[in-house]
Amino acid sequence: MAITGPAATVLSTDTHGRGRLVEAFGDVRRARNIAVIVPGVGWTGPLLRDESGAGRRHPAVQARSLLAEMERRDPGTPAAVVVWLDYDAPAGIDPDAARSDRAVEGAPRLAAFVDGLSASARVTVVCHSYGSVVCGHAAPRLHVSSLVVVGSPGMDVWSRAALHTSATVWAGIAPDDPIGLVPHTRVDGLGHAADPTAPGFGARSLPVDGAHGHNGYLVAGTASLDAIAQIVTGHNPSVRRSAS
């Protein structure tokens, strides 16, 4: 597909592990609305940097889609979207993905990165798939306005309160996202606990109309992209909070 929008600005790169990369779309230094996307399994620094043949699954494509929607909603406010892959994501749906070691190891770096952003910016962290496990462990140290969780296998907690965050927590899952088939359990270090979209978890429900599969949440025309852009720009969508 054609790639539209700003070129990526590399903020950091590291050859450690499978390769790490943090890149920004838009001027993160001037931005007053910032979204930080934390990708899930299968991504490496080299894969993220390679946009040849990039489709809707590619985080750079998703970042540009979100940035465009943010700018459409709040054209007078400088905005930026960061793709943060400064952790070693599991290679796929494998034993590493069922465990939390990689998330625990990466969480302090996510918190440190967010702390380094402008104190005058509104920051939202958008956590996709295994990235939501990273966000779950980073949550007590994340000074952000909102956490948005999509396609999550769990955040290693049984309730929103257990995240120990003052951020507003939003969660959504598409009806045909196969991650919905993952058992929500935690036994002997395997599994990631409760479904953040479940009644009783305590998150606000993110609309997902039009989103399909595991990678369709930041696609133009979906209710999820529209809602996330509203959240990042401080215009909270009118959606219900799940039962606590």
The whole-model pTM stands at: 0.94
Residues 79 and 32: beta-carbon distance below 8 Å: yes
* Per-residue model confidence as pLDDT tens digits over 172-227: 999 999 999 999 998 888 999 999 999 999 999 999 999 999 999 999 999 999 99
Residues 133 and 103: beta-carbon distance below 8 Å: yes
Give the span between the Cα atoms of 148 and 141, in whole angstroms: 16
List Cβ neighbours of 112 (8 Å cut-off, separation of 6 or more).
none
Residues 206 and 150: beta-carbon distance below 8 Å: yes
* Per-residue model confidence as pLDDT tens digits over 57-71: 899 999 999 999 999
- Predicted pLDDT at 65: 97
* Per-residue model confidence as pLDDT tens digits over 110-129: 999 999 999 999 999 999 99
**pLDDT surpasses 80 at 83:** yes
